[in-house]
Amino acid sequence: MITDYMDCSVKSIDVINISGNCYVLVLVFDNGKVINTVFDSKTELNEGILQDLIFYLKKYLINVKVSDLNERLEYLKLTFVSKIPFITDISDLIGNEISKTEKSSIELEGISNIFNFPEYRDLNKAKELIHFLEDKSELENLFLSYSGDEIYVSIGRENNKDFLNENTIVATSYDLGDGSKGKIAVIGPTRMDYEKIISTMLSLNDRFRDILK
């Protein structure tokens, strides 16, 4: 566990639905540190279950020191698993995230979904994109190539990479409050539902700003 975390406490916690079974976990500590990670649930959580999950996470984790979090997480799993089975997975995810020592990280979800699109029936194209997505230095360069707090959209040839000519990148960034920024991006076919994706990204941006106030 990161030493700097041991004496700080959880200031805020939230779980935000991006789309379908894809969610973002956001943890804010009273020393200004922020952890955010994207994850997939095995099943889509309806709004009622999601709100119950967030309620119990806030009730039992806010103002708790990191050094005491593991005990609280075990309590959550034992006490509420019958009501919210997913609380076991989210508790394990929180435990794993606070134990990481990386200064920064990139989380990927949904890579296998590219095979659902006709653009990637060509296995060579699919392999090239997957290789790009698995190269963290390439992704870091991609995220560093734009700035701003609203929405960034790069379509087709604007991406300056041949294998992204049939793709659009939609991204947003948010201020973490410690001089750094978090960024979320969606990469998909140029025929994506722009209105839906951009609306979702704007909503995420607003939620993050509220959480990090």
In degrees, to the nearest 5, what angle opens at C-alpha 154 toward C-alphas 186 and 120?
Answer: 60
Which range is least confidently modeled, 31-40, 56-65, 102-111, 178-187?
A: 102-111
Place of tokens 């290789």: 131
Last residue of a domain, one of 43, 68, 99: 99
Distance (Å, whole) CA 136 – CA 54: 31
Domain encompassing residue 123: 111-211
Global pTM reads 0.56
Judgement on whether residues 124 and 195 belong to the same structural domain of the protein: yes
pLDDT above 60: residue 5:
no
Contact between 183 and 36 under an 8 Å Cβ cutoff? The reply is: no
Judgement on whether residues 145 and 201 belong to the same structural domain of the protein: yes
Judgement on whether residues 32 and 116 belong to the same structural domain of the protein: no
Give the CATH number for residue 172: 3.30.450.40
Distance (Å, whole) CA 71 – CA 79: 12
Q: What is the pLDDT at residue 62?
A: 93
In degrees, to the nearest 5, what angle opens at C-alpha 39 toward C-alphas 213 and 143?
Answer: 65
Judgement on whether residues 31 and 80 belong to the same structural domain of the protein: yes
Question: Is 40 domain-assigned?
Answer: yes
Question: Is 141 domain-assigned?
Answer: yes
Question: Is 104 domain-assigned?
Answer: no
Q: State pLDDT tens for residues 63-112.
A: 998 888 889 999 999 999 888 888 999 999 888 887 764 444 566 667 77
Judgement on whether residues 50 and 95 belong to the same structural domain of the protein: yes
SS3 content of the chain, % helix, strand, coil (to 5): 45, 25, 30
- Category of 179 on φ-ψ map: left (φ > 0), alpha (ψ -120 to 50) or beta: left
Judgement on whether residues 84 and 9 belong to the same structural domain of the protein: yes
Contact between 61 and 10 under an 8 Å Cβ cutoff? The reply is: yes
Judgement on whether residues 43 and 71 belong to the same structural domain of the protein: yes
Q: What is the pLDDT at residue 9?
A: 87
**What is the count of structural domains for the chain?**
2
Give the CATH number for residue 95: 3.30.390.60
Distance (Å, whole) CA 61 – CA 12: 9
Judgement on whether residues 133 and 203 belong to the same structural domain of the protein: yes
Judgement on whether residues 83 and 125 belong to the same structural domain of the protein: no
Judgement on whether residues 130 and 169 belong to the same structural domain of the protein: yes
In eight-state DSSP terms, residue 210 is H
Judgement on whether residues 161 and 183 belong to the same structural domain of the protein: yes
